[in-house]
Chain A
C-alpha cells in the first residue's frame, strides 16, 4: 500500500485542481459568452451566494434538520435492527429479501406515498426518506461488523464465563464500531441528498431543494446554483462531521477503509 501522502500533496493538489477547474469554467463562460441561463459563471454564483447567504442559510437549516433527523432515525434503527439480526438470526433471514429490495430500489419513489401516509404539511415524509436511505448502509455494515467478532475474542469471553450481554458489550459492539462508521460515512451525504430530493415531491416549503427548483423555474440560475453550493457545503459538513466523530470515537484501531 502507498504511504500516506504528504500534507502539501493532500491539500495543495485538490485545491489547485479545484481552482483550475473554476478558472476554466469562468474563462469558458466569459470567452464563449455563455448565457447565464445556460451556465452561470462561478463569479456570478459566488456573488449571488454572498448576497443571498442568509436565505441559503435558512434553507440549509430546513434541509439540514431533515437530513439530521433522518440520519439519526435511520442510524439508530439500523444499529438496533443489526443487533436484533445478530441475536436472532431468523429475523435476518426473514428480512433478507426486503432489505435486498430496499437496498436497490430508488427510495425517492416512496416519497409521494410517504407524504400521503404521514401528512403533506409535515417534514416527516422527507425525514423518513432520508432515514430509509440511511438505514440500508448502516444496517448492512453494522451487521457485518457484528458478525466480524473474531473467534479468539469470542473464546476469551467464554473462558471468562461472561454473560452474552457482557460479551456483546465488551467485544461485539466495540468491534462493530469501525464498520458502523463505514456505513455512516456513506449514509451522511446520502441523508442530505435524500432529504433534498424528498422536497421534490411536496411538503412544506423552505428547504434547499425547493429553493433550487423555484430559482431555476424563473431562470435565475445564479441563485439556483448558490443554493446548490449550499447543498454541497451541507453534504460536506455532514460527511466531515461524521469523519470527525469517527476519529474521536475510535482513535486506536487500524484505519478502516472505504469512502
Chain B
C-alpha cells in the first residue's frame, strides 16, 4: 500500500485500496472467478484495486503472503498446513473449491481402477505437495510407497501418453483434458474418456481441500481495516465465481484476454470443470469451510507418509488456520443483495475438446 495512509478504508472518497492476490500458477481458468471479478469491476465496486500476481514453478504463494508481498494468496490446504507448521501465520478465509480435482488416470488396458491396483505400477505425480491425496489413497488401500515406482511428472502429459507412466496424476480441469486433446495412435482419433480409467480421490475418500483464499492471520486480528477489506475481497471474488458459473464462455475469454495462452476449447473445459468443483455448494454457500472436510484434510496430512517417510504436519494446526467469519459476512451481504450463493440449480455445459486444446 503505497499511496494514502489511513484513508484506505474510505471507499466513499473514490480512492481505491490497492490489493494484491498471489495465484498458485500462471493465469488460467482455474482462477477464472478472480479474473472475472476484476474484469467485471466487482473488486472496484468494493473499493479495491486488485493486482493479480501469477505463480511460477518455485513460487510458494503462502510464503509470498506471509512474507508480506501479497495481501491474499490462493493455495491448497495441505500445502499450506506444512507452511503453517513451519511458522507461517496465515488463515484460510474462504474455501472456494469444495471438491478435489485430483485424479490418477490410466489407460483402460492397464486395469487400474482403484488405489489398490497401483501396486507395482509406475505412478506419476508432480510433487510440490500435490502428491498427498495419492499417498493417502494408497495408504488407505494398503499400498506402500515402496510398492510403486514414483515418477515425477513434467509440465506435459507425454510421459503418460508414451507409456512411461502407468497411472498419471491429472487434474480434471487440465491434464485430463490434455490427454483427451491428444491423438490416440491406435485409432488416429483423439482419446475419449472411454479409453481411460480414472481414480477420483473424492470417491476414494482421501480428497483434500484445494484452492482456498488465504489471508494474514496477524493482520486479521489486529488490523480492522484489513479484516473489513478481507470480507470485501471475498465478496467480490465470490461474485466473480458466480459470473463464471453463469457465463463460462465469457469467463474463459476473460482469462485468455488476461494473457493465458491455453487453447480455446481447453480454457472453456477448464472453466466448466472448475465450476463443477464449486457448484452446487453443499456447505452453506461458496467459500464456507466444511468442518468435516477440513478435519479429513488435517487427518490425512498428519497420518500420511510420503516416499521419504515424512508427513505434511506432525501436530494439529492452530485454530487460526481457518476461519469462517469473513466468508460468512461476505455471504450474508450477498444474500442480502439477493444473490444465489449455493447454485443448487447449477448444470455444467458440454465442452468438446479439440486437438491440442485449440
- A contacts B directly in the complex (CB < 8 Å)? yes
- Chain A: residues with CB nearer than 8 A to chain B? 35-38, 55, 112, 115-116, 119-122, 199-206, 210, 213-214, 216-221
Residues B147-169 near A (CB distance < 8 A)? 149-156, 158-160, 162, 164-165
List B contacts of A119 (CB < 8 A): 159, 162, 164
The answer to whether A217 touches B153 (Cβ under 8 A) is no
List B contacts of A121 (CB < 8 A): 122, 149, 151, 159, 164-165
In the complex, what distance in Å separates the CA atom of A206 from the CA atom of B150?
A: 9
A197 to chain B, nearest CB (A): 11
Q: Which 5 A-B pairs have the closest CB atoms?
A: A120-B159, A202-B154, A218-B82, A219-B83, A120-B164
Q: How many residues of B contact A (CB 8 A)?
A: 36
List B contacts of A213 (CB < 8 A): 57-58, 127-128
The answer to whether B155 touches A120 (Cβ under 8 A) is no
Pick out which of these stretches binds chain A: B5-13, B60-68, B197-205. B60-68
The answer to whether A37 touches B63 (Cβ under 8 A) is yes
The answer to whether A219 touches B88 (Cβ under 8 A) is yes
The answer to whether A200 touches B153 (Cβ under 8 A) is no
Most B CB within 10 A of own CB, among A120, A200, A210, A214? A120
Q: Does B129 count as interface, using CB distance less than 8 angstroms? A: yes
List A contacts of B86 (CB < 8 A): 36-37, 218-221
List A contacts of B160 (CB < 8 A): 120
Partner of B153, one of A35, A38, A120, A218: A120
Output the nearest chain A residue to B127 by Cβ-Cβ distance: A214
List A contacts of B63 (CB < 8 A): 37-38, 219
Q: Does B268 count as interface, using CB distance less than 8 angstroms? A: no
In the complex, what distance in Å separates the CA atom of A199 from the CA atom of B152?
A: 8
Most B CB within 10 A of own CB, among A35, A214, A216? A214
List A contacts of B162 (CB < 8 A): 116, 119-120
In the complex, what distance in Å separates the CA atom of A221 from the CA atom of B162?
A: 35
A127 to chain B, nearest CB (A): 15
B339 to chain A, nearest CB (A): 36
The answer to whether A217 touches B127 (Cβ under 8 A) is yes
The answer to whether A218 touches B129 (Cβ under 8 A) is yes
Given A116-B158, A202-B153, the answer on whether A219 and B128 have CB atoms closer than 8 Å is: no
The answer to whether B156 touches A37 (Cβ under 8 A) is no
Q: Does B27 count as interface, using CB distance less than 8 angstroms? A: no
A-B interface pairs (CB < 8 A), number: 105
The answer to whether B66 touches A35 (Cβ under 8 A) is yes
Q: Does B79 count as interface, using CB distance less than 8 angstroms? A: yes
In the complex, what distance in Å separates the CA atom of A122 from the CA atom of B58?
A: 23
Residues B51-82 near A (CB distance < 8 A)? 57-58, 60, 62-63, 66-67, 79, 82
Q: Does B87 count as interface, using CB distance less than 8 angstroms? A: yes
List B contacts of A216 (CB < 8 A): 58, 60
List A contacts of B79 (CB < 8 A): 217-218
A220 to chain B, nearest CB (A): 6
The answer to whether B151 touches A204 (Cβ under 8 A) is yes
The answer to whether B88 touches A122 (Cβ under 8 A) is no
Given A35-B87, A37-B87, A119-B162, the answer on whether A204 and B150 have CB atoms closer than 8 Å is: yes
Residues B136-191 near A (CB distance < 8 A)? 149-156, 158-160, 162, 164-165
A48 to chain B, nearest CB (A): 11
The answer to whether B128 touches A217 (Cβ under 8 A) is yes
A200 to chain B, nearest CB (A): 7
Output the nearest chain A residue to B89 by Cβ-Cβ distance: A35
List A contacts of B66 (CB < 8 A): 35, 37
Residues B103-136 near A (CB distance < 8 A)? 122, 124-125, 127-129
The answer to whether A201 touches B58 (Cβ under 8 A) is no
The answer to whether A204 touches B82 (Cβ under 8 A) is no
Q: Does B236 count as interface, using CB distance less than 8 angstroms? A: no
A17 to chain B, nearest CB (A): 29
List A contacts of B312 (CB < 8 A): 218
Given A37-B87, A217-B129, the answer on whether A116 and B122 have CB atoms closer than 8 Å is: no
The answer to whether A37 touches B88 (Cβ under 8 A) is yes
Q: Does B1 count as interface, using CB distance less than 8 angstroms? A: no
Q: Does B325 count as interface, using CB distance less than 8 angstroms? A: no
Output the nearest chain B residue to A121 by Cβ-Cβ distance: B164
Given A115-B158, A120-B164, A218-B83, the answer on whether A202 and B152 have CB atoms closer than 8 Å is: yes
Q: Does B3 count as interface, using CB distance less than 8 angstroms? A: no
The answer to whether A116 touches B67 (Cβ under 8 A) is no
The answer to whether B159 touches A202 (Cβ under 8 A) is yes
Q: Does B2 count as interface, using CB distance less than 8 angstroms? A: no
Q: Does B223 count as interface, using CB distance less than 8 angstroms? A: no
In the complex, what distance in Å separates the CA atom of A216 from the CA atom of B125?
A: 17
In the complex, what distance in Å separates the CA atom of A204 from the CA atom of B150?
A: 6
In the complex, what distance in Å separates the CA atom of A216 from the CA atom of B127?
A: 11
